[in-house]
Structure 1
């Protein structure tokens, strides 16, 4: 094989590797629509979001993101704001990857979005809720399948699989500027009947402090 041919093949393989590596390390520009963990709360758009309220005081409604200080603070000075997608811009309702969800933005004492919580809605219709555990896979795919540290937890006394599947999983991954945590559960509690079971995904996107 000629040297020039070897060099051409090597260059092609190297370019493919570099492009694959860059793709694997790519981080989505936004974590949820036009919201990115780490952005100033003043940059959050009011358009597209409705029904803002304090997670710690649900009866306390907010007219806009600027009212976040009206919500009770936790021990670290963070305030949690529940919100939904505006039906005018999201005709399917408040959904992420097709799953009905409950959304919470966590804002720190520096007026920065320090976290986002995305939780599958336990009140969703059964035929949708029974797929709730799949949201975790979709989130992991969005941020890249590699680099996740996952732990499988075992059933406690009396807990049973659903359709032959028991799932209690916690996965974590560090990406530039934030920590991702995906918790998935699928099982039946001892006191639940055949039509009842736990099936949910909780996603936490948290700003890195260092």
Structure 2
């Protein structure tokens, strides 16, 4: 009897595991579900996690209770306001409870399996004019080292757009990481010319980021920049480029 009971329990566990494997592992609502040109009020508050004012890749700003509170955020030079949000994490908790590789399946707020920070750009009338995606720097150094490779996914996604990509020259004080120095900027527009895009990726050491501590001769952990930045806006707005 005991053996039969154990087999029955194992069978239920396997069934649950298999059922989860067939579940939708995409977020309930993602940055790609946002329709540019539509009112921000149509973005469902309850389908996402936290909502806050964005800071163009910096620390999360003032928390918001709704996307409709966009006027609370300070406008950028363009007049647009950035509203940051993260994905609903309910499926992450389910996967953790089942001891699955939840980061592989769900990835939290991620794009092409890269942890990211996503946000909307809203005009004074409350119309979504653009979206931003930054690779998330609040992760381990091991994960962060590959953040610059996200640009490859974007270039593949927008291969039918008119992309013009160029290497950005090394600036004063910058250094390669090992033997690699990567700083690439792509700009372009949609086939109809109504949407403009900018994608930037970098893998380098900024001024003052030495690989080896001169006093202790030990490796300086985390002293490098590895990131990808994406911005898409409707004309006549222009993506912010920061080479």
Q: TM-score, normalised by structure 1?
A: 0.76
User: Which of the two has greater strand per residue?
Assistant: 1
Distance 1:43 1:109 in 2: 16
Q: CA deviation at 1:173?
A: 1.3
The equivalent of 1:70 in structure 2 is 72
The equivalent of 2:17 in structure 1 is none
Closer, same or farther in 2 for the Cα pair 1:165/1:78, shift >3 Å? same
- Aligned pair partner of 1:205 in 229, 232, 235: 232
Closer, same or farther in 2 for the Cα pair 1:59/1:161, shift >3 Å? closer
Distance 1:102 1:39 in 2: 21
The equivalent of 1:93 in structure 2 is 108
Q: CA deviation at 1:39?
A: 2.4
Q: CA deviation at 1:190?
A: 4.3
Distance 1:80 1:69 in 2: 10
Q: CA deviation at 1:202?
A: 0.4
Q: CA deviation at 1:45?
A: 1.9
Distance 1:107 1:170 in 2: 24
Q: How does 1:11-160 map to 2 (within 5 A)?
A: 32-55=31-54, 58=60, 60-89=62-91, 91-144=106-159, 147-160=162-175
Gaps of 5+ in 1: 1-29
Deviation by residue 1:56-80 (Cα, 9 ceiling, x = unmatched)? 5955321121221222223443211
Distance 2:146 2:117 in 1: 16
Q: TM-score, normalised by structure 2?
A: 0.67
Distance 2:63 2:121 in 1: 16
Query: Aligned-residue CA RMSD in angstroms?
Result: 2.4
Distance 2:61 2:152 in 1: 34
Gaps of 5+ in 2: 1-28, 93-105, 212-220, 238-243
The equivalent of 1:7 in structure 2 is none
